[in-house]
Amino acid sequence: MGMESQLNDRLAAAAPSVVDRTDEVRRELHQLVAATEAATEAAAAPTRRRFTRSRGFAAFGAAVAVGLGLTASATGGVHTPWGSIAAQKFSYPGPSIHAEDMTHGSNCKVVYGAAGTWDPKHPVSPEERAQVLEHAREFIRDIDLSTISVPDAIRRYEAEHARLARSTGLDLPASEFRPDGTPDDIKAFAVLAALDQRLRAELKGKGLSTHAVGAVAMPECETVVPPDQWSEADHS
Amino acid sequence: MTPDETAVFRAAMRDVSSDLLAYFERRVRGSEDAADLLGETMLQAWRRVDAFPVSDRTQQRMWLFTIAANVLANQSRSSRRRKALTDKLRTSIAAAPTRPDLTELNAVRDAVLRLQESQRELVMLIHWDGFSIAEAAQLLELNPSTARGRYAAARSSLRDALAEGAEVSESTLR
């Protein structure tokens, strides 16, 4: 073996190791693409402002949904790989879902919709996913969110949370959104859980795959900064 | 951007995401931090989607890695949003197994890490991330001939360092 070739081999072999791309890592990588798309959409969306100026962190879009019996995926906003999704806006008056923003005040809302999911254990063809997503999209668009009892949804969500914590022995975060989930976080995810449950029942009833899509939630918050706290950056 | 072009963009992001994650894993201390940087890279990519080179697959990869390189250079920015996005990926990475490193490999890696910064990144991009010299030059915004020169100097330094290391090992054994 020539010296140059030997050096090449030694260099290649010396690459720092990376974590194995397990099914779970691969799935999260795929879902991150959708989640970042949703966050970008949220950031670009026009927001209502209480003050004439507002700090740049206008939207906190995360797309979330997995766990607690759900297998919903992470995306939201307007687009998915299979076209526009139906989205409903469900407004929460009052404090921000970010505790650290509450000193400034904020406006938050949660957008619910449907998005495609990717699960290596249950492969679905793009065609089938597109078909299921179209149906899920229409289904969620037509749901009247006022028919979901928020207190009941929270009770079911918390019961499921407790059951899962007991069965896994894990110290689970209070909500899928943030480890220190605020009541608003929990409310948002409780409604999502209820919505996802309805969606899955609908898909099952129609003989459609429940592994192709899921309900999604995307909280959007606008942090409002009183004028006397504006920084130079706010004026730029 | 048309829906078809957006679909191409998403596919490119999915295809390159694992390599981008590896790129960060090899350059930051914690794998979980790599997940955050990947999240930021994707956010930046979506934000600049109109500049995405839709028709050229090679350039698509280059485009995404260029954003990744910028993100790495600016990693001290506020990370709250990307952390929220990457929480689950961070958890998955923390739970996934890694292969143990061997001493001989560490010697080579140390030699790479001791290179001058301008040479080190070239070697890492070429030998660890699989880029050609020309592509690495593009990512580092270098003239290709400058990159070739730096790469040749890096190889020369590496050969010397590794030969020196071998001599030290032998003399230690004697």
CB atoms within 10 A of CB A9: 13
Buried b (16+ CB within 10 A) or exposed e, A78-91: bbbbbeebbbeebe
| Closest residue on chain A to B26 (Cα) | A16
A153-A159-A160-A166 Cα dihedral, nearest 10 degrees: 170
pLDDT digits (tens, 9 = 90+) for B73-91: 876 544 444 555 666 666 6
CB atoms within 10 A of CB A47: 17
Instruction: Report the C-alpha gap between B166 and B172 in whole angstroms.
Output: 10
pLDDT above 70 covers what percent of chain B?
A: 75
Asked if A85 and A225 count as a contact pair (C-beta separation under 8 A), the reply is no
Averaged confidence pLDDT in chain B: 80
Among the partner residues B26, B89, B159, nearest to A32 by beta-carbon distance: B89
Residue A213, min C-alpha distance to chain B (Å): 17
CA A143 to chain centre: 19
- Partners of residue A214 on adjacent β-strands: A115
Asked if A46 and A170 count as a contact pair (C-beta separation under 8 A), the reply is no
Among the partner residues A11, A25, A39, nearest to B96 by beta-carbon distance: A25
pLDDT digits (tens, 9 = 90+) for A113-138: 777 666 666 778 878 888 888 888 78
> What DSSP element (H or E) covers A222?
strand A213-223
Query: pLDDT-derived band of residue A219, with 50, 70 and 90 as boundaries?
Result: low
Tokens in use for A202?
A: 């609908």
Instruction: Report the C-alpha gap between A9 and A6 in whole angstroms.
Output: 5
Residue predicted with more confidence, A154 or B52: B52
Query: Is B93 within 8 Å of A66 when comparing Cβ atoms?
Result: no
ipTM, two decimals, is: 0.71
**What predicted TM-score, i.e. pTM, was given to this entire model?**
0.51
Write out chain A residues lying below 8 Å of B159, CB-based. 3, 7
Query: Is A25 within 8 Å of B108 when comparing Cβ atoms?
Result: no
